[in-house]
Every structure is written in C-alpha cells, then in structure tokens.
Amino acid sequence: MEYIIDDMRKWTEEERAMYAKQSQLMFTLNHTMPGTEDYSEILKEIFGDRLGEGSMVMAPLYGAAINNITIGKNVYINNNFLAMARGGIIIEDDVQIAANVQVITNNHDPYERAILTCSPVTIKKGAWIGAGASVMPGVTVGKYAIVGASAVVTKDVPDYAVVVGNPAKVIKTLDADRF
C-alpha cells in the first residue's frame, strides 16, 4: 500500500493559504443556490479541470485537500460529502455517491498527531456508494461495485461486488454481463 507522510508542522505559508482558500470556497459553495450559474462557477473554481463533464457535487461539501480529488464524467455526489483527500481521491466515470458519505485518505500518527499518514482511495467506474458509508484510507472500490448504506469499507472491494456492514463484507456478486 502506498503511504504519504505529511507533517502539518512543516506546511509552507503558500500551503496554508491554499487550504484556507479551499475552506472558503467550500463555505461559499455550501451557501449558494444549487443549479445556478454561480454554483457551477464555484464548483469549477474548487475542482478546475478535475471535475468531469456532466458531473455534479451537491452542497454541502466538506473536507480537506480538495485539490487532491479527481472526479470523472457523469458522477453524482449527493449532500454532505466529506472528503479527507490528503492522500488523493480518484472517482472514475459514472459513479454514484449517496448522501452523508465519507471518503477518508488520512489518519494521524498515534504519537505525533501533527503527522498525517495518507493512502489514496480509488472508486472505479460505475460504483455506487450508499448513504452514510465510510471508505477508509488505501481502499479501491471496484467497477460497478455497490457499497451498502452505513458500511465501513476497510479493504478493497472487488469489481461487481456488493458489500455491507462494519467492517464491510461481500454478500454477493453482480452479473457483469448486465452492465
């Protein structure tokens, strides 16, 4: 598993300013009427060219290091998405993310809590993350996989698998030929 170590005590003034700007942009997004030109412009400012065509992120949006998120085409992310993205989050095309989902790529060193240990999360094409689910550092959710509501995903999810529970476990495999 790929690990990134980030010592927050060593952030430059430029990094601190960038993270402050991201927080301000999320605040503005969270207080802007969805479906308006203003809303679309703020999304573009937050994600730049890392937001694929036809994709939508609904407010409120929360998180850190939002600049480390890449969202593919035709992705829908519902309300209250929490993205702790220091380790990087890749969301491929046609993904559906329900309300109150958390994608966490970082943890704190248990002794030096200003040090973050980070691992990227990838959500592959066509996956569906159910309401209130948590996807933890280093996890890959496979193609067309389904993560059930409130599941806590601590290990990779195979392509076409349906996982539920805490920790999430495979309960069935979908028919790949139907996609």
Q: Map residue 77 onto helix, strand or coil.
A: strand
Half-sphere exposure of 4 (CA within 13 A, CB side): 15
Is residue 108 among the annotated active site residues?
yes
* C-alpha 157, offset from chain centre: 15
Beta-carbon count within 10 A of 30 CB = 14
d(CA 12, CA 24): 18
Sequence-distant (6+) residues with CB within 8 A of 35 are none
- In the set 16, 44, 108, 172, the catalytic residue is 108
- First-to-last CA distance in the chain? 30
Tell me the two tokens of residue 117: 């240990």
Long-range contacts of 24-27 (CB under 8 A, 24+ apart): 25/66, 26/60, 26/61, 26/62, 26/63, 26/66
Beta-carbon count within 10 A of 98 CB = 19
Q: Which residues have a catalytic role annotated?
A: 108
